[in-house]
Structure 1
């Protein structure tokens, strides 16, 4: 029968493995994220990946041929920005599932999160595990 400390270590390792598996799954979902925005009158469709990189440009109609260069350039920029904003929103939803309640990726990216409130000075762990760590780091061993 495992000791109390051994069981706590096993529990912590199991928790770590679950969190790691969740992180791998989250990364996979983020990597698969795309977003497509369509400009007015179907003049342009832009698809971007999770990091906002343009992966496809389509001109479903011939409307772009009748546009002055400046208008076409503005349409490209606006449509790309829309696709990127939607991709970021999707990634935010995916990541927010793994974050503590009330916390979002966008708030973190905008610098609106106090990191000290997320990561306290002392890690949260059962008192017995904390005692074991403190005694081990002070050179004491348990028998």
Structure 2
């Protein structure tokens, strides 16, 4: 015998499926994120992935040939840092839509917010559905 709450349960399952798909899409968008930075002198061009991993280093001009090794190394490090900052900003833009007002990606990454605190301990359920889940059909109020 079908439950009077079948539609509400189906709606909750559909919502869950949409949220999982949104999470998968967010993951895909993050994985596809890259950022490129070029130093002002055009000696070094660096590309990084979403997590700041170095994916490409280019020397667009011959300017690097006139640089001391330490100067070139420092330029690579600072240019990669700029690319990482840009990648982090891009990732923050992707995930910030799903965060509650006032919470930033930086808050999460720097440990200022507990991710578990962002999710309610009790999921939003209609009272009738909650009663059904907790007590079964026999315990549900048939109103």
TM-score by length of 1: 0.87
Superposition deviation, residue 25 in structure 1: 1.2
Distance between the aligned counterparts of 1:116 and 1:81, measured in 2?
30
Separation of aligned partners in 2, 1:17 and 1:119: 17
In the alignment, the residues of structure 2 paired with residue 28 and residue 117 of structure 1 have an alpha-carbon distance, to the nearest angstrom, of 25
Matched residues, number: 140
- Matched residue, 1:61: 61
Contact preservation (8 Å) 1:95, 1:104: no
| Aligned positions of 1:109-128 closer than 5 A | 109-115=109-115, 117-128=117-128
Taking only aligned residues, the RMSD between alpha carbons, in angstroms, comes to 2.2
Matched, 1:34 2:34: yes
Instruction: For 1:5 and 1:106, locate their aligned partners in 2 and report how far apart those are by CA, in whole Å.
Output: 41
Q: Secondary structure at the match of 1:19?
A: helix
**3-state SS of 1:56 partner:** strand
Distance, in Å, in 1 between the alignment partners of 2:80 and 2:100 is 31
- Name the TM-score, length of structure 2 as normaliser: 0.87
* Matches of 2:115 and 2:56, distance apart in 1: 37
Give unpaired runs (5+ residues) of structure 1.
none
